[in-house]
Amino acid sequence: MDSTPQPPKGAKVRTSSFRRVRGLIALPVAALILSGCTVPSFGAYESDTTTGRSTYHLWQGFTIAAIIVGGLTLGLILWAVFRYRRKSADAIPKQTQYHLPLEWFYTIVPILIVFGLFAATVVVENKVTAEPKADVTIDVNAVQWGWTFQYPGTHALITGQTTQAPMFEMPAGANVHFELTATDVVHGFYLRNFNFSRLAIPGITNQWTFHAINTGEYFGQCTELCGLYHSIMYFRVKVVTMAQYKAWIASFNTPEGARAAEAAALATKQQLDSIIPTHPTTNHGVN
């Protein structure tokens, strides 16, 4: 004869609300783990530079942490709302306080999460601001409303104003050091696929290093409202192999390349002096 205690006849067997909530959370988490899905991008670009990918992974980590914390918080709120809702007009749910282990838990864990995210941010920022030995140096100058890219030690000079979108080149697999400034007002140097943005500020030189992983052409633009033609202040970067880059640079180190660079520099000076958009001759070299 079964001696297991049975509920009184007619009584409702109450299923634990906590178990139901736990099951609802565990099912999608388990499905995600077992499916072997890659972590989504959450709207960011994976990037084609080493530092850009570090920033991308940091963004993924922050977003995942926010989803977990937010989901857990929402789950606990919903559990408390439905588990301890008022059953009748006069009934008051049982009041519980001073649960020290739980209070220690929800005090210490958030602090540890904040410290962990802070430490990860410091590591990534140190990578982004590091200055390894440069293989190539490019001086960038922003002006209303165009860009100038100059390669010290060579005749290579890429420039363009207003409706032009100058394209400069850099090698993949090398440390390319940039020095950025502006002539007139504050501009913004932004490369979408590199997860990178820096301000171009008159009188200040901002420096950084790119280490491109893949070859290809990428779009850049000014992201700081700088005047009438800000919306079309574009540029492009072409990432090539080191051999292709050296051949491209060599194409400037000729009498013709030197004359073209001088003409481009003169046109840029005229633009600055007149404050009227012009269309200088731009030497893009041999691609």
Residue 24: what pLDDT?
60
pLDDT over threshold 60, residue 34: no
State pLDDT tens for residues 99-124.
888 888 888 999 999 999 999 999 99
Torsion of CA 198, 199, 205, 206, to 10 degrees: -20
> What's the rounded mean pLDDT across residues 37-54?
82
Q: Which amino acid is at 219?
A: F
Tell me how far CA of residue 250 lies from CA of 134, 175, 231, 244, in angstroms: 19, 19, 34, 10
**Whether residue 110 is found in the same domain as residue 144:** no
The range of the structural domain enclosing residue 117 comes to 17-85+95-129
Q: Indicate whether 140 and 270 sit together in one domain.
A: yes
Asked if residue 100 and residue 198 are part of one domain, the reply reads no
pLDDT tens column, 225-263: 988 888 889 999 999 999 999 999 988 877 777 777 777
Position 200 scores a pLDDT of: 94
4 within some domain: no
177 located within any domain: yes
CB 279 within 8 A of CB 208: no
60 and 160 fall within a common domain? no
Percent of the chain with pLDDT over 70: 76
| 152 in the same domain as 175 | yes
**Average pLDDT for the chain:** 81
Beta strands 157-161 and 167-171, pairing class: unpaired
- Cβ atoms of 282 and 162 closer than 8 Å: no
